[in-house]
Amino acid sequence: MTTLLGIAGSLRAGSLNRKLLQAATERTPDGVTLEIGSIAGIPLYDGDAERDEGVPAPVEALKDRIAAADGLLLVTPEYNQSIPGVFKNAIDWCSRPPKDIARVFAGKPVGVIGATPGRGGTRAAQDAWLSVFRGLSLVPFLGESLYVAGAAKVFDDDGALTDDTIARLLTEYLEAFAAFTARVGG
Ligand code: FNR
């Protein structure tokens, strides 16, 4: 059994990226579970608060869930051709204290996909994540990619994925990422 943890990098209720993550949980190959982690409740990183109060409980909880997963799947929005601050902030908190990076991140397979109503499909944000992955010693999956452009039109009113092409590409991505995770080891 392979367990993946997916995190969508948006706080808003109608997030396209959360819908994409939900769609992914319904399209995993046999023997693979995709659980959903959340960045909700994570404060802005403040080194003084860390020194005085330690790592906040929602961050410790997310760290533990990442550590327990065989692979990590980030579902990223794109802001100004890069990573949204709330998402980067959450992962930055999860890298604290640095001695925990080995337990939480190092050597873990990581994939990144994303959705935008725009035309670029979050390509720039996905590229920006690569240097973060290097900093955390994650092992990026580069075998497939999924850039969901025009994403406002691919979900129905209930948030279900209705675009057959995106559904097929998502299924193929998950199959290849799960195989990579099994090969690399979590
Ligand atoms: C955006 N958006 C956006 N989209 C894109 O494809 N490239 C970009 O550079 C940007 N830049 C950008 C900056 C800021 C500040 C905001 C608020 C938005 C649009 C963005 O893709 C859209 O709001 C998505 O719906 C955000 O993802 P969620 O919240 O739907 O998951």
Cis peptide before 58 (omega within 30 of 0): no
Choose the residue to mutate in 80, 119, 147, 154 for probing ligand 1, maximizing ligand atoms within 8 Å of C-beta: 80
Residue nearest to atom 6 of ligand 1 (CA): 118
Instruction: Kindly give the distance from the C-alpha atom of residue 153 to the centroid of ligand 1, in angstroms, as a whole number.
Output: 15
Determine if the pTM surpasses 0.85: yes
pLDDT digits (tens, 9 = 90+) for 5-55: 999 999 999 999 999 999 999 999 999 999 999 999 999 999 999 999 999
Pocket of ligand 1 (CB under 6 A): 10, 12, 15-17, 77-81, 116-118, 120
Please list, in sequence order, all residues whose beta carbon lies within 8 angstroms of the beta carbon of residue 169, skipping any fewer than 6 positions away.
146
Structure tokens at 118: 């725009």
Cα–ligand 1 centroid distance for 118 (angstroms): 8
| Mean pLDDT on 70-75 | 98
Beta strand spans in the chain (E): 2-8, 32-37, 71-75, 109-115, 139-140, 147-148
Q: Which atom of ligand 1 is nearest to the CA of 8?
A: 31
Specify the 3-state DSSP secondary structure of 59.
Answer: helix
Q: Ligand 1 mean position to 86 CA, how many Å?
A: 12
Instruction: Write the pLDDT tens digit of every residue in 115-165.
Output: 999 999 999 999 999 999 999 999 999 999 999 999 999 999 999 999 999
Question: From ligand 1's centre to the CA of 78, what distance in Å?
Answer: 5
**Chain centre distance of CA 18:** 10
For residue 46, the model assigns a pLDDT of 98
Nearest CA to 132 out of 84, 102, 92, 81 is that of 92
Q: For atom 27 of ligand 1, which residue has the closest CA?
A: 77
Indicate which residue's Cα is closest to atom 18 of ligand 1. Answer: 79
pLDDT at site 185? 77
